[in-house]
Amino acid sequence: MTTSRIALVLVALAFVPAAAAAHHGWSGYDVSQVLNLTGTIREAGYEHPHGYVKLETSGKTWLVVLAPPSRMENRGLPRETLKAGTTASVVGYPNRSDPGEMRAERITIGDKTTELR
């Protein structure tokens, strides 16, 4: 193997831990506690591995982890729907270690509910 190929492999391997850390397992969420939240989207991301919204409720602002963008798009939840200022309701589970994060099972915007899992 040439020096340039070795360098390329090493650079590629350097990104593996970052990608693994970015995708956390679902065991970190407490499925025994169902949350039903309604609030205003303050920020949204439509990127891999999962989309997200920051949902401002009456008590606090939640980081709501959504599905991957391809699944949201296929199920009728395009990027444009998740815009700041929009009211949304989410049903999901709280993160076991981060009290400000939840994983959404479904999201309702307007009269449309999208199943995310």
Residue ranges of the domains in the chain?
A: 26-115
What integer pLDDT is reported at residue 1 of this predicted model? 62
Q: Nearest-CA neighbor of 50 among 86, 25, 15?
A: 25
**What does the pLDDT read at residue 55?**
98
In 3D space, the residue among 13, 88, 5 whose CA is nearest the CA of residue 54 turns out to be 88
- Residue 8 has what pLDDT? 44
CA angle 77, 69, 74 (to 5 degrees): 50
Q: What is the pLDDT, as a whole number, of residue 21?
A: 43
Tell me what pLDDT residue 2 has: 65
The CATH class of the 26-115 domain is: mainly beta
User: What's residue 73's pLDDT?
Assistant: 96
Query: What pLDDT score was predicted for residue 16?
Result: 45
Q: Which residues of the chain have pLDDT under 50?
A: 7-12, 15-23
Whether the CB-CB separation of 43 and 54 falls below 8 Å is answered with yes
Report pLDDT for 26: 75
